[in-house]
Structures are given as C-alpha cells and as structure tokens.
A = this chain, B = another copy of it.
Amino acid sequence: MEFSIRAANVEDCKEISRMIMELAEYEKVVDKVKVTQRDLEQDGFSKNPFFHGIIAEVPEQLKSKEGHTKIGYALYFFSYSSWKGRAVFMEDLYVMPDFRGKGIGKALMSKVAQLGMAAGCNQLNFTVLDWNKSSVDFYLSQGCTDVTSELGYHYMSCNGEALEHLAQP
C-alpha cells in the first residue's frame, strides 16, 4: 500500500488527538486521556517542545471509510540513560486498524529509530502493555528486549496530590 511518513506539524494536532483517542479505546483507558488538541499544539510545537511527532499518510484515493488520510502516528522525545547515554523514547505508535499489516507501523518505528540515531542515540525505549500480545511479539521479533521481564525494572509514577505533596520543600 502506498503511504508516506513525514514530520508532524501543528496542523496535524487535530488528527493526532483523534488517533490518541482511538489508541486509548484500544487500550481500554479512554477515561485517562486528558490531553486535548490544544495541549498538543502548545506542548509539541512551541519553543523547547516536550515531544516530536511523525505522521503516516495515505493518498486521497486510499482514505479510510471515515475520510481520514492521516492514518498513523508516532510521538517521541529524547531522553538519557546514565549508563548508555543518549536515548530516544517512543511514547506512542499507532496505525488505524484498517491499515495494519502493511508495514506502516514498522515504517513509523523505523523512522523514530533513524531520527534517534541521527541525534546520537544508541537506544530506543518504550513501554508496552503485557496483555497486548501482538505488539509484544512484534517488538520482540524486531530484536527489542523486555527490560522489565529480564532485569526487573518497574515503571513508577507520581502524580496528583502525591506529586504536589512531594514537591513541597
């Protein structure tokens, strides 16, 4: 299938926001999504952006039944490992269901890897839900390591009142 991958720009935020919601529906966490189109515009496309994005697009004649030509995306940001140095973190990787199995997800992930390596990164990191077997299998088939299973690293988070309390001097 004909498709292209390009850097996201501020005009893509409406469609990214739509796809974030679709991904959340798939992951069964719609109620946890607080990020709006406006947030994406501010956080990703002002000075010192918090993330970068890439978009997968198909030509008009291949648009989805709902009329979308932007049919996949990945968000990423640069990070750091005090052992291994520069790293790129892939926050989201999503392709609309009707467009799966055509190499678009792989192409998006490959682009994030390329962009990371071009910036001197020697690691691509991300998280995956353990029940999402098809994604886990895909990542393992690409030579990725499950750091949680192999080394015992757990991902932890502090937010809401706990974060406010912690931040008090």
Contact = CB atoms under 8 A, between A and B. Distances in A.
Interface string A145-169: 1111101111111111111111111
A124 interface: yes
Contact of A43 (B80, B155, B169): B80
A147 B143 contact: no
Contacts of A23: 82
Contacts of A43: 80, 85-86
A15 interface: no
A51 B77 contact: no
A interface, over-half SS:
mixed
Interface string A13-50: 00000001001100001001111000100011000001
Nearest to A17: B82
Contacts of A163: 113, 116-117, 122-124, 143
24 contacts: A23-B82, A32-B84, A44-B80, A50-B79, A50-B85, A50-B86, A50-B87, A51-B80, A79-B89, A81-B91, A113-B167, A123-B157, A124-B163, A128-B153, A130-B154, A139-B156, A142-B158, A142-B165, A143-B161, A146-B154, A147-B155, A147-B157, A148-B155, A154-B155
